[in-house]
Structures are given as structure tokens and as C-alpha cells.
Structure 1
């Protein structure tokens, strides 16, 4: 797909991120937050990848050239170069998507031990605590880990230890959302679902991510129906700016799990269809929105116009991080800053976003009440 006129190239995104970082916004820093869309694998920076590979005695190679990375600096430079067009000028959508998936899935290979999984999860929880995240639902892709030979007890053991420590030491509560890779067969999704059942105390929901082309949500209806019957909550990613999103949004909202999902991840194209917007609103489906993900491929003005349209229509949404390591180190705070700037949200509307994220979360009711009370009783906000 060709680059979209008005989408921000990487240099412009970095400039925007730096300008937002230089603007002190005590309101956004202080407000209690709930994070509902962050991929644990999307946190694997070149630094973490190097750390884990060195600890595990691994050699890292360039995915296209096969050349060996001898230093962290070489890996960092390659990561930078991978986000630049080989032909000069601006990198188009297809090029950047390829670079993204190469880097993203390449990071899985360095995770080998329970300590690796613990360290990765704690990297998130410690950053979340500094941003006043009180509760998080974290995505993970088990198929990407088991195909590198990692066992469930290693993966979930590390995640579980970090989850417990984060609640005790950092006061960040959390749960996990297990996502299936939609470019793999539905049979693989079912196998991994069954293997995950011993860890259902950690896992609150079932999701669907990865490359969406020709992979509609209904392909996975059997596993979603099983998950619904077993009491899990359901969500699915719906791409932004492609040719198929409205149909995938409709399937997600109405079909999967028998009655449709509890949430939609991304799905910004719904704003172009008043009927779809009204259907989502009537069903009370929340949407997780990650603005920094969209301005890579969509005109900036159009992205924030759609977000504003959905918000004004009364749809609950949660602003979130997505994949900070691959998106200019932008986290929930930066995403809140950019949506505040371009949607022109007032303080009161930012409070509504904070409350909506709590209400559409799958946290226990007691946890929700605790966070809502903190928002409502902090005089700074009101």
C-alpha cells in the first residue's frame, strides 16, 4: 500500500514526540490511569534484546543480510535504519509494516528463561508505575513464544512473578490478555487456548492480533465461542486505514463469541459509518485507541477527527500505548498528550477518558471503585 498523503514520516513523529515531552503537563502526569492496550512484546527495545541475547549466549543477525551484530550500537543503528526507506525519501506503508514485523517478531527469539520474561514484564510495570498507571491489561502472543521452543511454565512463570511483585511493590494491579496470531491457523489458536487454561487465574481475556489481511475475526469463531463459554472476556484488533476494517469491526462487534466482543482494539474506521458508530454505542462496546500507531500511516488531521467523532458519539474509549519500543518510545502518557493537543480535549473531557478506561476494563469491581474514587476525590482534577 502506498504512503498516505498527510501521514507523518518517522522524523516528523520524533519531532512531535520531543515537542510534547518538552511541554510539562502536570494534569496528565498526575491523573490515575488504566492501560488496556499494550503488547508486552512491543516493549523489547534494542537494549533489552541485546541484554537478553548476551545473557543467553545468543548471536543476533540482521534479518535480511544475515550479518552478525557485534555490539549494541550496531543493533541500534540497524533498528534505526530499518525504519528508513532503502530507496531514499519517505518510507511507504508496506515497507514500514515489513520492517515493523521483522523487528517485532525478531525480539521473541531472545526470550529463553523465566528471568527474561520476568525482566521484560517488570520493565513495563516499573514504567507504568512512574506514569501513575493503577491497573493494566497486558497483551501477550503465546504462539510467538512457543514456536521458539519456550514452554508455558517459563513464560507464565516469569510473567506471574512480575505481576505479583508489581502489585506488592509498585501498587500496579494487572491481568493478561492472550492474543492469537491471526496469520496462523485457527487450529493453532485452539491448541494454545487449551494449553493456557491452567493459567486462567492470570488471563482475563482473549484477543486477536498480527497481520489482518485476509484474516477476518470470524475465522476464529470456534475458539472465541469456547472462550466465551469458559467465562473469558473477548476483544480483537481491527486495523485502521485498510480496505477491510468496517467488515472486521462489524464481525468483532456482532459475531465473535456468539454475541460479539466486549471491546474493539483500534477500529478507528468505524467513525466513517454512522450506523457502525451507533451500533457500537448501543451495544456498549469500548474501544482501545492508540493515536501514535495511526499517524504513521494516516493523515494526522483525519486520525484525530475520527477519535473526536467517536468520543462525541458517546463511545467509551481508552487511550493506550500499543508498542512503545517501535513507536518513538511513546507510552500512555504521550498518547494522552497527543490526543489532548489535537482533539482539543478539556480537563473535564480528559477526566471522562480516564473514567471510561476504568469502566470498560475487566478489573474486579472493587479495583474499579478504588480507581474511580481516586479520580473523583483528587481535587486537582476538578
Structure 2
């Protein structure tokens, strides 16, 4: 995919990236050998090929999701020590900085590591060291979001939250919920969400696209949990099918983190991009992010932004608005948000004055008609 200079140079904030989902085949192979872990591949080439599934094989709904999760969690086996987590974090931060990501809020899954017998201190210390090094070396700020695994109990979520207390507000600024959604509504985790909110943390939850009961799950996140809803909703694209949900999300000023490539792997363009366009046109603060790039055909934030640029389509001004949305709904300090916004405004001014490579403004046309709202 050819990325426009306008998108490459655009200062970015990434709000939906799983650090475990940035594990490259190279690092997995390297850490496997370092830690004496036998990988289920006869060669590096075979491992690398496993990251490139047949695109047609992806578009089979829940089975495709199940295979993705199996591969995702299978890769975690090589992460054992603080240095492993540090290396994982720094590889992402350096890649992100090269794409002009200025601030990131990064999911991590501590239960997936402690369940394997990895001490929580190894996870936290490695990621925290990478967090500090990214700021010092790259001038890039980062906060982590402690994600609870949907497949595990609410009691397990409470236990991992207790273990991570020494790092609250210094390393992680919020909590979230991820994993297979079917039969595991966000309301099951209401107690830990509301406890985290009382502790001054931000709260978000995945509501995956086109999953069973997704409208009800979005509604729980947008209105029920924490009184007037969570601070953000991750994915939640199916809200575009419901006028009630659109109004609820907008009225409660809840931002959304969208990952177009994640949906496009299993659904066609006309099933995905008109919905993104609808949420944007409803003045909901949507943002564009990469999700689990190394397991999703190696598509990072710049690729996802180019996809919506081309397929929604979005003009220069609208792409700038997406970048503003990300700053507006991020959880950085007010001072840092001002820095980020000032940098974006300077970029916008350079673009207008012609000092940045020009990109044509795309007219909104040729979209597949949207289904009526329910």
C-alpha cells in the first residue's frame, strides 16, 4: 500500500494498539531461541508464513476470530523476562515513532502472562522501562491500559488489578476489556470497572464489530457502567446501525477507537467504510488505529489511515479532524495534550501554506448506500 506523504507526516496519537499484537516473527523466533522454547515451526520461514494467512480464509466470521486469538496467545509463550517485554515495547515505540506517532496508549494483557507463570514484576518492569526509554530516546509519550481478559472471571480481573496496584498512575492510566466477546458482556466486569474509576483511572472496553449481542454490549458501555458510560469504546463500529446508540454515544461524549483493517479482513469494503463515515458524520469522536498489526497482514496506523482516506473517503481537513479527535479523547495530561494539539496545528498551517507536500481533497462520492438506521 502506497502511503501519502500527508499521512506519513501527520502527527498522530494511537489509542488502540495491543503490545502483544506487535510481536514480529523475527522477535518471536529470537526470544524463543533465547529462552529455550521450542516453537511449533521447523524454520523461521514457516513461522513467518504463519503470519500471512490467505485473505479469503479470513472472511469466515467467528472461526477466523478464533484462529486469530489462537495465534495471538500462542505467540506469548516466548515472553518470559523483563528484558523480553522491554524489547517488545521498544520495537513498537521505534516503529511508531518512524510513523510520526507522538503519543500512544497501549493495551497489555497481564493475565495472559501470569497464567503462564511469568511474575507480574517481569511484565511491568520491562514495559515500564520501555515507556521511559521511548520518552527519552524518541520524545514519544506513552501510557498503558491494563486489559482484563474476557475469557477469565471477574474475580481474576480483581486479583490482577490488585497485583498491579504499585504501578497505578505511574505506568498505566486506565483499564480495558478484550478477548472473545460472545457470552461475555462488559456488565460482568462492572464492579472492577467502577472500582478503577473510583481510583481515578480511565475505563474502556472492546465491543467488537458484528459480534453476537454487540448492540447490547455497546449500550452497557455507553450508558450503564460507571453511571453515564465508559470513557471510551474500543471498536464499537456496529453502533452505526442504531440511531439510539449513535445519539447515546454522542450525548455522553464517548470517544471511539476504530481499526479498519481488523474489520476489512473479514468483511468487505461496503460493509465497513460507510459505517465509519456515518459515525464521523454524526460528530462522534472516532479515531483510527492499528490494533494487532503484526498478526493483521502487517498493517499499522499509517495503513489504516490511508484505508479510510481512500475508502470513506476523507479529505485533508477530515483527516486533520481525525487526528484532533485522537488528541481530544486521549488520556494524556492537559499540558501534554496542548503540546500535541499545538504540533498538529503547526502541521495544519504548513499544509495550508504549501510547505507540506500537497494532497488532493477527495470529494465524497460513490459510496454504497447505507442501510436504514434502526
Please, what TM-score do these two structures have when normalized by structure 1? 0.89
* 1:30 is the counterpart of 2:9: yes
CA RMSD of aligned residues (A): 1.5
> C-alpha offsets along residues 48-86 of structure 1, whole Å, 9 cap, x if unaligned?
21111001111112xxxxxxx232122223444xx349x
Q: 2:141, 2:328 → 1: CA distance? A: 15
* 1:77 is the counterpart of 2:49: yes
**Aligned position for 2:98:** 130
* 1:210 is the counterpart of 2:179: yes
**Aligned position for 2:18:** 39
Tell me how many residue pairs correspond in the alignment: 350
Q: 2:328, 2:197 → 1: CA distance? A: 20
Q: Could you tell me which of 271, 274, 294 is aligned with 1:305?
A: 274
Q: 1:318, 1:381 → 2: CA distance? A: 21
Q: Which runs of 5+ in 1 are unaligned?
A: 1-19, 62-68
Instruction: Give the conservation status (yes or no) of the 8 Å contact 1:351–1:381.
Output: no
Instruction: Give the conservation status (yes or no) of the 8 Å contact 1:108–1:148.
Output: no
Instruction: Give the conservation status (yes or no) of the 8 Å contact 1:116–1:158.
Output: yes
**Aligned position for 1:240:** 209
Cα pair distance change 1:306/1:89, threshold 3 Å: closer
**Aligned position for 1:6:** none
Helix, strand or coil at the partner of 2:350: coil
Instruction: Give the conservation status (yes or no) of the 8 Å contact 1:129–1:170.
Output: yes
Helix, strand or coil at the partner of 1:49: helix
Instruction: Write out aligned runs for 1:302-341 (5 A).
Output: 302-341=271-310
* 1:224 is the counterpart of 2:193: yes
Instruction: Give the conservation status (yes or no) of the 8 Å contact 1:347–1:381.
Output: no
Q: 1:108, 1:228 → 2: CA distance? A: 29
Helix, strand or coil at the partner of 2:351: coil
Instruction: Write out aligned runs for 1:90-129 (5 A).
Output: 92-129=60-97
Instruction: Give the conservation status (yes or no) of the 8 Å contact 1:178–1:205.
Output: yes
Instruction: Give the conservation status (yes or no) of the 8 Å contact 1:241–1:298.
Output: no
* 1:250 is the counterpart of 2:219: yes
**Aligned position for 2:328:** 359
> C-alpha offsets along residues 151-179 of structure 1, whole Å, 9 cap, x if unaligned?
12111111111111100111110000001
Helix, strand or coil at the partner of 1:293: helix
How far the C-alpha of 1:32 sits from its partner, in A, is: 0.5
Helix, strand or coil at the partner of 2:37: coil
Cα pair distance change 1:369/1:142, threshold 3 Å: same
Moved more, 371-380 or 281-290: 371-380
Please, what TM-score do these two structures have when normalized by structure 2? 0.91
Cα pair distance change 1:159/1:269, threshold 3 Å: same
How far the C-alpha of 1:344 sits from its partner, in A, is: 1.5
**Aligned position for 2:233:** 264
Q: Could you tell me which of 255, 258, 261 is aligned with 1:286?
A: 255
How far the C-alpha of 1:298 sits from its partner, in A, is: 2.0
**Aligned position for 1:4:** none
Q: 1:117, 1:142 → 2: CA distance? A: 11
Cα pair distance change 1:323/1:78, threshold 3 Å: closer
Instruction: Give the conservation status (yes or no) of the 8 Å contact 2:175–2:202.
Output: yes
Q: 1:90, 1:108 → 2: CA distance? A: 22
Cα pair distance change 1:295/1:165, threshold 3 Å: same
Helix, strand or coil at the partner of 2:180: coil
